[in-house]
Amino acid sequence: MKYKSFQIKNFKGIKDTTINFDGIGGAAVFALVGLNESGKTTVLEAIHSFSPDSATSELLGGEEGTGVPFNDRVPRHLISTFTGDVSVIATLSASEEDKKNIAKRLREKHGLEVNISTIPDLIVFERKQRFKDGDFQKNFFNLTISPQVKSGSQRKWRDKTSEEYVFIRDVVYSFTPDIAYFPTFVFNFPERIFLTERGGAIDKFYRRVFQDILDFDGHGHTIEKDIVRRVRGEGMVVPWHSFFSTWVQHDDRTKIQHVMDRASAAVTKLVFGRWNKIFGENTHGKEVVISFETIEGEKENSAGMKEKTNEHDVYIKFQIRDGTRRFNVNDRSLGFRWFFAFMLFTQFRVSRSSTRPLLFLFDEPASNLHSAAQQKLIESFPEVAKGEHTLAYSTHSHYMIEPKWLEQTFIVTNRADAPLSSVLDDISLDDESLDIQVASYRSFVNANPTQTSYFQPILDRLQVVPSRFDIQRASVVLEGKSDYYILRYAAQRLGKNELPLLPGLGAGTLGALVALHVGWNLNFLFMLDSDHQGKVEKGRYITDYGMPVQKIVTIEELVPGLKMIEDLLDNEAKDNIQKELGLSSHPNKNQIRRFFQERLASSRVNQLSSGFIAKAKSLLEAIEQKLAS
């Protein structure tokens, strides 16, 4: 089963919003883009709260299987008065194989036959918490489907009973993906990780990561059976001075070290293997070493004070060995620690054959790393989101945007009409005005074309930079970016990739480029629109800059009937662009530019219409002939 959407209501600053994870194909990777404090973290926390996996649930302060504590979910401005429900509604798609597996488990576990044809393709769950006057009242977990069932010797299908409803709900839920949320702070790799109950939530989280490593090794080792049991075994629950003198000679130390060696080999093989693939670096001679140490036992008494105990503790450390040198992982660079932790969290989870599918959630991943590292990181995301796994992440860095995933990119806002000109105005907005919304990139841009601050990282990422200018080659300087994007698209479609097209900043801004080309006597051609301004600027460049007449043309001089570059688009092409962008009418100039910008960035240079290609071919061939002459 896979998540299709989440509808979130009254969760902190979210009044009511829906995020759709129904990708259009390719990698199941989704990006949430927004300004700082726009609500990206709140969205991730709400999604996580539907089905938090055991390893990450308690990181947010809740109990296992809860995520964000119930009382922390209510809108902040209503913390003492909120009456109503906080809810997360998850819609999942169920394949025919999923339905058969559900029916099989109900039969084996509860002796209940289910009519598979009455299980819908879309299954909806709702988790909600009811509050009255700010006080938590009750938690609900509902399944909305009503499949027909029969049991025992019954021959006819019937409606389920209330008891059978619970059986069905829990069995269906057991096939839903776990949701693993990784807040930024969890990537601060600890110096040591306690394998006993000592330590806090971070130790508990990393204990589960270490157990994943042991599971991956495939020899059935567990922390409790093969490590803690030996440290606290018969004859070992004694005062520290007695324990230490006995332990240094005990053969259980060798047995635990064997477990550590196997775990070290598993991490070295998987993590450095992935490292080589992502970065293309040769890590030969480097290996991960996991060592363990024992320490005098310590527990909290009923008064909350620390006191010594005869049950002693054990912790592990991760080190990198390079030849004869050893380095603690937490002493390495921020970039190395982040990637090392990221691969530990993801690679061992997705490699487990027994795990439920996972939805990975990352909050601002690699936000403090340099641009090259960020770009390498998103290249590794498809390897995590393979099979039935999915990955979603928040970011405000344009280096973390992949143009090929634009259809799976969302804009997160807390108020689309909030003032952005003043930091003081922004921070003084009261909580009551918050309304965190999630919208697809395309729908948000169409609805809010002036709110560029929210989607500027995407625009930055989509900039198509021309190849380095080569003064030995003939070049064509175009009036603006729209001309560049459209002609570059057509040139790629027609196999004319070598045509050197360079965008300007507008018909009246080309003076410096004109002077440069004239002064250096370069082989060039300037092409302007055939509107009034284009003709005026052509005359000015010839008169004021001494540009040779044959070096500057308007479009209609090359192809009669064309006034501007958008005239290349016939109605069929405009209809296709309108459909692609989800517009209610034909696109305007800015929307046309955005369409070609996105298509070039994602390498989707497909046929728009035969008329567009025919006109573009005539123009490009006329440009080539003009350059040649």
- Confidence at residue 474, expressed as pLDDT on a 0 to 100 scale: 72
Q: What's the residue count for the chain?
A: 629
- Confidence at residue 467, expressed as pLDDT on a 0 to 100 scale: 45
Q: Which of 130-134, 216-220, 334-338 has the lowest mean pLDDT?
A: 334-338
DSSP secondary structure letters along 319-338: EEEETTEEEEGGGS-HHHHH
Which range has the top average pLDDT, 132-141, 350-359, 469-478?
A: 132-141
Can you name the CATH fold of 475-628?
Answer: Dna Topoisomerase Vi A Subunit; Chain: A, domain 2 (3.40.1360)
DSSP secondary structure letters along 503-544: E-S-GGG-HHHHHHHHHHT--EEEEE-SSHHHHHHHHHHHHH
**Six-digit token pair at 255?**
């047995």
Residues 390/2, Cβ–Cβ less than 8 Å: yes
Angle between helices 571-581 and 589-601 (to 10 degrees): 70
Phi, psi of 62 (to 5 degrees): -95, 180
Q: What percent of the chain has pLDDT over 70?
A: 93
**Six-digit token pair at 297?**
């036992």
- Confidence at residue 315, expressed as pLDDT on a 0 to 100 scale: 96
| C-alpha span between 625 and 275 (Å, rounded) | 50
To the question of pTM greater than 0.75 for the whole model, the response is yes
Query: Which of 494, 466, 489 lies closest to 595 in space, CA to CA?
Result: 489
- Confidence at residue 472, expressed as pLDDT on a 0 to 100 scale: 54
Residue 85 burial (C-beta neighbours within 10 Å; 0-12, 13-18, 19+):
middle
pLDDT higher than threshold 90 for residue 106: yes
Give the model's confidence band at 377: pLDDT under 50 very low, under 70 low, under 90 confident, else very high. Answer: confident
DSSP secondary structure letters along 96-144: HHHHHHHHHHHHHHH-EEE-GGGS-SEEEEEEEEEEETTEEEEEEEEE-
- Confidence at residue 388, expressed as pLDDT on a 0 to 100 scale: 82
- Confidence at residue 216, expressed as pLDDT on a 0 to 100 scale: 86
pLDDT higher than threshold 80 for residue 248: yes
Q: Which of 49-53, 62-66, 549-553 has the lowest mean pLDDT?
A: 62-66
Give the model's confidence band at 522: pLDDT under 50 very low, under 70 low, under 90 confident, else very high. Answer: confident
Give the model's confidence band at 419: pLDDT under 50 very low, under 70 low, under 90 confident, else very high. Answer: very low
Query: Which of 72, 43, 85 lies closest to 435 in space, CA to CA?
Result: 43
Q: Which of 139-153, 387-401, 509-523 has the lowest mean pLDDT?
A: 509-523
Residues 278/378, Cβ–Cβ less than 8 Å: no
Is beta strand 409-413 parallel, antiparallel or unpaired with respect to 29-33?
parallel
> pLDDT of 171-210, one tens digit each?
999 999 999 999 888 888 888 999 999 988 889 999 989 9
- Confidence at residue 46, expressed as pLDDT on a 0 to 100 scale: 96
Domain limits of the chain? 186-342, 475-628
- Confidence at residue 349, expressed as pLDDT on a 0 to 100 scale: 77
Residues 394/362, Cβ–Cβ less than 8 Å: yes
Give the model's confidence band at 43: pLDDT under 50 very low, under 70 low, under 90 confident, else very high. Answer: very high
- Confidence at residue 26, expressed as pLDDT on a 0 to 100 scale: 58
| C-alpha span between 67 and 365 (Å, rounded) | 19
> pLDDT of 207-234, one tens digit each?
989 998 998 888 889 999 999 999 998 8
Residue 102 CA neighbour count, 13 Å, CB half: 28
Residues 458/33, Cβ–Cβ less than 8 Å: yes
Q: Considering the chain, what is the average pLDDT of its residues?
A: 86
Residue with tokens 């030969």: 284
What Cα–Cα distance (Å) separates residue 348 from each residue in 216, 252, 266, 268, 591? 7, 27, 9, 12, 44
pLDDT higher than threshold 90 for residue 303: no
- Confidence at residue 430, expressed as pLDDT on a 0 to 100 scale: 60
- Confidence at residue 496, expressed as pLDDT on a 0 to 100 scale: 83
- Confidence at residue 603, expressed as pLDDT on a 0 to 100 scale: 74
Give the model's confidence band at 354: pLDDT under 50 very low, under 70 low, under 90 confident, else very high. Answer: low
pLDDT higher than threshold 70 for residue 355: no
Phi, psi of 296 (to 5 degrees): -55, 135
| C-alpha span between 330 and 322 (Å, rounded) | 16
pLDDT higher than threshold 70 for residue 473: no
**Six-digit token pair at 131?**
């509050």
Query: For the CA atoms of 68, 73, 79, 83, what is the dihedral angle to 10 degrees?
Result: -140
Residues 494/529, Cβ–Cβ less than 8 Å: no
Give the model's confidence band at 397: pLDDT under 50 very low, under 70 low, under 90 confident, else very high. Answer: confident
Q: What percent of the chain has pLDDT over 90?
A: 40
Which range has the top average pLDDT, 26-35, 78-87, 484-493?
A: 78-87
Give the model's confidence band at 416: pLDDT under 50 very low, under 70 low, under 90 confident, else very high. Answer: very low
- Confidence at residue 290, expressed as pLDDT on a 0 to 100 scale: 94
Phi, psi of 222 (to 5 degrees): -130, 155
Comparing 546 with 99, which gets the higher pLDDT? Answer: 99
Q: Which of 16-30, 79-93, 153-167, 255-269 has the lowest mean pLDDT?
A: 16-30
**Reduced to 3 states, what is the DSSP secondary structure of residue 213?**
helix
Give the model's confidence band at 426: pLDDT under 50 very low, under 70 low, under 90 confident, else very high. Answer: low
Residue with tokens 């507008």: 506
Residue range 23-36: mean pLDDT, rounded: 79
pLDDT higher than threshold 80 for residue 521: no
> pLDDT of 548-563, one tens digit each?
888 899 999 999 988 8
User: String of b and e for 491-530 (b: at least 16 CB within 10 Å)?
Assistant: bebeebeebbbebbeebeebeebbeebbeeeeebbbbbbb
pLDDT higher than threshold 70 for residue 622: yes
- Confidence at residue 20, expressed as pLDDT on a 0 to 100 scale: 92
pLDDT higher than threshold 90 for residue 8: yes
Comparing 474 with 35, which gets the higher pLDDT? Answer: 35
pLDDT higher than threshold 50 for residue 48: yes
